[in-house]
Chain A
Amino acid sequence: MKARVHVMLKNGVLDPQGEAVKHALGALGFQGVEGVRQGKVIELELADGTTEATVRDMCERLLANTVIESYTVELG
C-alpha cells in the first residue's frame, strides 16, 4: 500500500519561496495570481495494513515540523 503525505507551512507562517514563485509568475505575465504556497509531497511505500495513525505518528515525529508546518495524509 501507499501513503502520500502533504506538508505545508502553516497559514500565517510566511513562505518566502511561495512569494518568490508568485512574483516569477507575475513576471511571466500571468495575471491574477493572488497567492502561492509551496510545500512538499512525500510518498511512502508501506506494508499492507499500516494504519493512518502510524503514518500520522511518522508525520509528528519526523516528516513535518509541527511548529511551522501542517500535514495531511492520503492512504491508498
Chain B
Amino acid sequence: MHAAVLVFPGSNCDRDLAVAFEKAGAKVSMVWHKDTGLPDGVDVVGVPGGFSYGDYLRCGAIAANSPICGALKEHVSRGGYALGICNGFQVLTETRLLPGALRRNAGLKYICRPVDLLVGTADSAFTAGYQAGQRITVPIAHHDGNYYADAETLQQLQAEDRIAFRYAENPNGSVGDIAGILSANRRVLGMMPHPERMAEPAHGGTDGAAMFRALLDQLVTA
C-alpha cells in the first residue's frame, strides 16, 4: 500500500501520521501543499492534523483551496481512499468531500485529552479492524471539533451507516456525538480524534493501530 501524507504550512501531525502508516507496513510519500499532483500509485491520502495556514479565515479553509487539494479531489473522484484527522477532517469538510462543518467547541476551550469512542460501523476499510459498538480510547486535541450537519444530512449519515465513531461522552457539542464520518462510497473518513497518537505502546495505548492495520489489509488484498 502506498500512502501520501499532505503537508501544509502549520501541519504538525504529518510525521506522526506517516509513522503510523509506515509501522503498519505502508510505503509513505510526504507531499507538499504546492504540488499539483500525487505520486503515481497512491492508494490512500492522509490529511494530517495541525493548524494549516494558522487556521486563518476558518480551520482548513485555505488548505482546501491549495493546489494539492485539487489532486486530492481527483484522487477521491477516481475512487481513491482518504483519511483526514483533526485539521484533516476540517479540510475534508471544507473541500466538501465530506458533508457538514466543524464549529468552535461548545465550551470554547481547546481540549487535549484521551476520550472514549464508540465504533459506529465496522463496514469500511478504516474500521474493519473494530467491532461495531466497540469502545476504544483515542486522544483529541482541538478547538474546533464541534461537528454540525443539518437534520437532513444527519438522517442520511445515519441511514447509510456512515457514522464511523461517536464520542462516549460528548466533549465538544458535536451533533449526534459524532466524532468521525464516512463518505457515501465509504472510502473517505474524517475524524477529530487522533488514532495515529494511540498506535504503539509508548503512546500509552494502541487502540488506533487497528485502523492502519485494517486499511493495509484491505488495500493490499484489493
Q: Which residues of A contact B (CB under 8 A)?
A: 9, 13-14, 16-17, 20, 61-63, 65, 67-68
Contact = CB atoms under 8 A, between A and B. Distances in A.
Interface of B: 57-58, 61, 65, 93-94, 99-101, 103-108, 146, 148-149, 173
Given A62-B65, A65-B61, A16 B173 contact: yes
Given A16-B104, A62-B65, 17 more contacts: A9-B103, A13-B103, A13-B148, A14-B103, A14-B106, A16-B106, A16-B107, A16-B173, A17-B104, A62-B61, A63-B57, A65-B58, A65-B61, A65-B101, A67-B148, A68-B101, A68-B148
In terms of DSSP, what is the predominant structure of the interface of chain B?
loop
B205 to A, nearest CB: 30
Contacts, number: 35
Nearest to B151: A12
Contacts of A9: 103
Given A13-B148, A14-B106, A16-B105, A61 B100 contact: no
A52 to B, nearest CB: 21
A63 B106 CA distance: 23
Contacts of B108: 16-17, 20
A67 B101 contact: yes
Contacts of A16: 103-108, 146, 173
B219 to A, nearest CB: 30
Contacts of A65: 58, 61, 94, 101
A67 B100 contact: yes
16 contacts: A9-B103, A13-B103, A14-B106, A14-B173, A16-B104, A16-B105, A16-B108, A16-B146, A17-B108, A61-B65, A62-B57, A65-B94, A67-B101, A67-B149, A68-B101, A68-B103
A61 B61 CA distance: 10
Nearest to A9: B103
A20 B108 CA distance: 8
6 nearest interchain CB pairs? A67-B101, A68-B101, A16-B106, A16-B104, A16-B108, A65-B101
Contacts of B61: 62, 65
A56 B149 CA distance: 23
A68 B58 CA distance: 11
A63 B65 CA distance: 11
Most chain B beta-carbon contacts within 10 A, residue among A9, A63, A68: A68
B167 to A, nearest CB: 17
A37 B105 CA distance: 16
A16 to B, nearest CB: 5
Contacts of A13: 103, 148
Contact of B93 (A61, A62, A63, A67): A67
